[in-house]
Amino acid sequence: MIKVGILGAAGYTGGELIRLLLNHPEAEIVFANSGSNAGNKVADVHGGLFGETDLEFTDAMPFDEVDVVFFCFGHGKSEEFLKEHSIPAHVKIIDLAQDFRIAAPTHDYVYGLPEIHKAEIQKCQHLANPGCFATCIQLGLLPLAKAGLLKHDVSVNAITGSTGAGQKPTGTTHFSWRNNNMSVYKVFTHQHLHEIRQSLTELQGELDASIDFIPYRGDFPRGIFCTEVVKFDGEEGTPSNPTGEQLAQMYKDFYADAAFTHYVDKAVDMKQVVNTNKCLVHVDKFGNKAVITSTIDNLLKGAVGQAVQNMNLMFGIDEKAGLNLKPSAF
C-alpha cells in the first residue's frame, strides 16, 4: 500500500482527495493535516464522508511514515512551507499549488500533465500538478500545437464553478452574489496563462500567438466548460488548414493512449465530466476557423483527480486506480 500524507486537508481539494484515497485500492491515508481543525473528525468538516471514515485531522506531520505527501495549499504557500520544513528525500511530493509549475533551474518538479509528460512523471520524485483552467485549455489545444498550427492569436472563453475559488467565502463566491449571476475576472491576465504557454511552446517549438483568455465565474459549484477559436491559413484541406474530418482524426490520434482524455464526435456538455477525472474534447470547423470545446471537473481532472492519476504513475500502478468515477449526468 502507498502510505499518504495530506497537508491542507480541510479545504475543497483536501476533501476531494480524501474521498478518492479512501476508495483507492492501493493507498492508505496516514495523516490528514489541518492546523485549524486538529482533533476534529474529517467527516464533521467534509460532510459527504459520514459513514466512510473515522479519520481525524491532526496538526502532526509524520513524514517518515509516508511514501508521498500531497500539498493542498493555496498558491505561494508550498515554497514557503519547504523553506521552513524538511521532508525526507525518499518521500515523493505532489504539489497542487502553482509554485513549481514553471520549469526553472532552481527546482526539479515535473509538470504533471500525463497527456504529454507521462514518461517524466513515472520517474519523478517531485511533481507540480497543473491548474484547473490550464488543464482544460491545454487539452483543447495540444494536438494543434503538436502539428504546428497555432499561428494566430487564440480566443479562449472558459467558465468555472465556485469551488475553483476555494472554501472561504468571498464577495464573489457566496450564494447571494453567485446565484443567477455571471461575471468575468482576470481578463487576459489569469495566472494559468504562463503554464499554458509553457506546454504549447514545448510542443510547437515557438509560440508567437497570444492566448486571449477570458475567464467567467459560473453560478454552479463545480466544472469547467471551455471554447477556443483557432484560425488557420491557406486552402482548406491543406496541411496548414485541415478539414473538420482531418482535425477530428488528429485529436483522436493524439489522445489514443490517454487514460482520461477523449475526443468526442458530437458536441459535449459539462455534466458528462462532473464528478469524474475525464476531459472530453470536440472540434467544429467553419471555413478557416475551428472551435474547440473542452470540459472537465475543476476539482478532479483540474486538481486532485489528476493528482491521484499522477501518484499512480509515480508508483508504477494502474493509471486509473481509484478513479473509476460515475459522472453526474442522468
Residues annotated as part of the active site: 132
* Cβ atoms 300, 164 nearer than 8 A: no
Angle value at C-alpha 257, between 253 and 262, nearest 5 degrees: 70
Residue among 285, 294, 264, 252 at smallest CA distance from 156: 294
Sheet with 279-286, edge to edge strand ranges: 183-184, 211-217, 154-160, 224-231, 289-296, 279-286, 261-263
Strands 211-217, 183-184: pairing kind: antiparallel
Beta pairing partners, 285? 290
* Cβ atoms 187, 97 nearer than 8 A: no
In whole angstroms, what is the distance from residue 10 CA to residue 14 CA? 6
Residue pointed to by grid coordinates 471514515: 53
Of how many residues is the chain composed?
330
